Structure 1
Amino acid sequence: MKTITQRTLGGPDVLETVEADIPRPGPGEVLIRVAATSINAADWKLRSGVVTKLGPPPFTLGFDLSGTVVETGAEVTEFRPGDEVFGNVVSRSGAYAEYVVAPVEFLTRKPEQFGHAQAAALPTAALTAWQALTDIHAGQRVLVHAAAGGVGHLAVQIAKARGAYVIGTARGANHEFLRGLGADELIDYTTTDFTTATGDIDLAFDLVGDDYSERSLRVLGPQGRVVDAQGEEPLSDPRYHRHYFQPSGTDLSEIAELVVTGRLRGEISRVMSLADIAEAHKLSESGRVRGKIVLTPWTD
């Protein structure tokens, strides 16, 4: 099978296509023929060495996948060959490949109502937002930074589905898009300091990093908190919480229901081939992508 690997850390050009053996599923795992995967910010951070959680190269990136089960490991009763599934793989053998092995608890069935590209755009981004906003309830004020990005545009919709009043920071060019997703107020961060424009916030969701979490502490209400899914240097303030998503087929099944019922949609910026992986990473790393970049397998 074809797969993307890298032998060293660095820029997008370190990513290369190689031939590898098709993996075999172990107990509690399934082998999936990948129909689509997608890029997350963690991908290019791992590729470049900004984040080192996969250890040294070689490794294959890609946390998201949608595809078809072709083989099941021992003790698997949840799925059988031919089932269409989507979810996460979190290992050194990621989803930038024609075939991938994933634990069944990281997966859920893909509804017939949406395709593989739409499904592959969801897992990491949607779970990050879903789990970060789990305690949000009606009437609370939520501030989403980078609201038009891969996680942010889903966070806006999830917060709205839970009854929150949602304020987003984004470039002015994305404001109409975000209003269409339900955002109540929007702040153009290129012209306005959000700390002067929000009022008291119950939860500020930091998807930018840098000093955004520290600045967000200034706009919190009496019981407010900052949830940071981006920064690499956690703050010591008790109102600050560093958030990492947890793969969960159970959560993904609830997210899929929101999609099916029209309460959540994942924005796809572009669909590209894994043959163009370096170009796709350059585009993702630019920080100018609305929603997600989806990748499909090689066609030759």
Structure 2
Amino acid sequence: MKAVAHDTYGSAEVLELRDVPEPVAGDGEVLVRVRAAGVDAGVWHLMTGLPYLLRLMGYGLRAPKVPVRGREVAGRVEAVGAGVTRFRPGDEVFGFCEGAFAEYATAREDRFVTRPANLSAEQAAAVPLSAVTALQALRDRGRVRAGQRVLVIGAAGGVGTFAVQLGKAFGARVTGVCSTTKTDLVRALGADEVLDYTREDYADGSRAFDLVVDTAGNAPLARLRRALNPRGTLVLVGGEGGGRWLGGTDRVLRAMLLSPFVRQRLCGLFSAERVQDLASLRELIEAGSVTPVVDRTYRLGELPEAIRYLRESGACGKVVITM
């Protein structure tokens, strides 16, 4: 089968479209013919091996242990292994796997849920990592409640577009922060207020939020705290920038160390790939409360171009690979 793989860490040029053996569904596993695969920020980090902390976490010190990237997938079940009871060949599913940038991928059956009928495969592939991250940021770490004022920084991005919609679904008053060209999109997602960060400062003291969700990953903690009310909550979703060893995770660590000494709650989020959260999101999607935003689609062999676009241009919503 065709897959995009890499044997060394580096820029997008290390990725190659090549023939690799087709995987086989083992006991309790499902073989999926990939229809679409989401491209998230983690793809770039695992491709480059940066920050180095990732390598120490088991992804491979000198070279990637798993050559095929991609963890968000939507496709059709082709075969099932022994003991699988939830799916059968022909079912349309979406969820988490290892090696989604390929024609076929396998994972345990408990990593998938049935694709909502109101989503295309491309839309479904945009959901798993980004939407689950947004859900955990608001519901679990942010403890969002109806009537609260919520600020979403990076509201037009992969996680941000879901965070805006989920905030509204939970009954909050949502303010989105984005660049000039993306304000219409964020407003269309349901944001009560949209701030263009090139013209307005969300931390100028004129507003105080109960919850700030920072998906952009580079604002100083002191600035973010100025946007919070005295007992508000800050949730840092990942992080960008920083050094080659820790990247943006150092900001998360500093927030967690500071939190016990201030009245505000300062939290970091390292999201978990929980299929039960994906099932909850499916219900919201089927109800029309949440709709994935797909900026662009690329073919499998165009994955390097897709990663460069996501990294350099800042997508509106998600970038998706189609087969």
Looking at structure 2, the residues matched to 212 and 88 of structure 1 have their Cα atoms a distance apart, in angstroms, of: 32
Looking at structure 2, the residues matched to 33 and 248 of structure 1 have their Cα atoms a distance apart, in angstroms, of: 22
Task: Say whether the 8 Å CA contact 1:213–1:226 is kept in structure 2.
Answer: no
TM-fit CA distance, 1:269? 0.7
User: Does structure 1 residue 85 correspond to structure 2 residue 111?
Assistant: no
Task: Say whether the 8 Å CA contact 1:206–1:212 is kept in structure 2.
Answer: no
Looking at structure 2, the residues matched to 22 and 77 of structure 1 have their Cα atoms a distance apart, in angstroms, of: 23
Deviation digits for residues 6-53 of structure 1 (CA, Å, limit 9, x no counterpart): 111111111101111111223332111100001001101111122425
Looking at structure 2, the residues matched to 117 and 211 of structure 1 have their Cα atoms a distance apart, in angstroms, of: 31
Deviation digits for residues 160-212 of structure 1 (CA, Å, limit 9, x no counterpart): 00000111110122112111111112222123332115622221111112234
Deviation digits for residues 207-247 of structure 1 (CA, Å, limit 9, x no counterpart): 11223444212222233111111222122222221112222
User: Does structure 1 residue 45 correspond to structure 2 residue 45?
Assistant: yes
Equivalent residue for 2:246? none
TM-fit CA distance, 1:249? 2.3
Q: Secondary structure at the match of 1:187?
A: strand
Number of residues of Structure 1 aligned to a counterpart in Structure 2: 294
CA RMSD in angstroms, aligned pairs only: 1.6
Equivalent residue for 2:128? 123
Deviation digits for residues 42-90 of structure 1 (CA, Å, limit 9, x no counterpart): 101111122425223252111100001112223221111111100111x
- Residue type at the aligned position of 1:237: L
Instruction: Output the TM-score relative to the length of structure 2.
Output: 0.87
Residue number among 171, 174, 188 corresponding to 2:179 in the alignment: 171
Instruction: Output the TM-score relative to the length of structure 1.
Output: 0.93
Task: Say whether the 8 Å CA contact 2:155–2:164 is kept in structure 1.
Answer: yes
Looking at structure 1, the residues matched to 299 and 179 of structure 2 have their Cα atoms a distance apart, in angstroms, of: 28
TM-fit CA distance, 1:148? 0.4
Equivalent residue for 1:237? 258
Alignment map for 1:208-247 (pairs within 5 Å): 208-231=216-239, 232-233=249-250, 234=252, 235=254, 236-238=257-259, 239-247=265-273
- Residue type at the aligned position of 1:36: A
Looking at structure 1, the residues matched to 192 and 43 of structure 2 have their Cα atoms a distance apart, in angstroms, of: 31
- Residue type at the aligned position of 2:44: W
Looking at structure 1, the residues matched to 6 and 295 of structure 2 have their Cα atoms a distance apart, in angstroms, of: 25
Residue ranges of structure 1 left out of the alignment (5+ in a row): none
CA gap of 1:198–1:36, structure 2 versus 1, over 3 A, is farther
Residue number among 169, 177, 180 corresponding to 2:188 in the alignment: 180
Alignment map for 1:25-40 (pairs within 5 Å): 25-40=25-40
Equivalent residue for 2:282? 256
Task: Say whether the 8 Å CA contact 1:105–1:248 is kept in structure 2.
Answer: no
Q: Secondary structure at the match of 2:270?
A: coil
Equivalent residue for 2:109? 104
Looking at structure 2, the residues matched to 188 and 196 of structure 1 have their Cα atoms a distance apart, in angstroms, of: 13
- Residue type at the aligned position of 1:280: A
Task: Say whether the 8 Å CA contact 1:30–1:102 is kept in structure 2.
Answer: yes
Residue ranges of structure 2 left out of the alignment (5+ in a row): 240-248, 260-264
> Higher helix share goes to which structure?
2
Equivalent residue for 1:199? 207
Q: Secondary structure at the match of 2:8?
A: coil
Task: Say whether the 8 Å CA contact 2:150–2:209 is kept in structure 1.
Answer: yes
- Residue type at the aligned position of 1:106: R
Task: Say whether the 8 Å CA contact 2:135–2:163 is kept in structure 1.
Answer: yes
User: Does structure 1 residue 57 correspond to structure 2 residue 64?
Assistant: yes
TM-fit CA distance, 1:147? 0.4
CA gap of 1:108–1:214, structure 2 versus 1, over 3 A, is farther
Looking at structure 1, the residues matched to 28 and 229 of structure 2 have their Cα atoms a distance apart, in angstroms, of: 45
TM-fit CA distance, 1:122? 0.8
Residue number among 158, 163, 167 corresponding to 2:166 in the alignment: 158
Q: Secondary structure at the match of 2:226?
A: helix
Q: Secondary structure at the match of 2:123?
A: helix
Task: Say whether the 8 Å CA contact 2:300–2:322 is kept in structure 1.
Answer: yes
TM-fit CA distance, 1:287? 4.1
Task: Say whether the 8 Å CA contact 2:116–2:285 is kept in structure 1.
Answer: no
Looking at structure 2, the residues matched to 114 and 189 of structure 1 have their Cα atoms a distance apart, in angstroms, of: 32
Task: Say whether the 8 Å CA contact 1:170–1:186 is kept in structure 2.
Answer: yes
Moved more, 188-197 or 75-84: 188-197
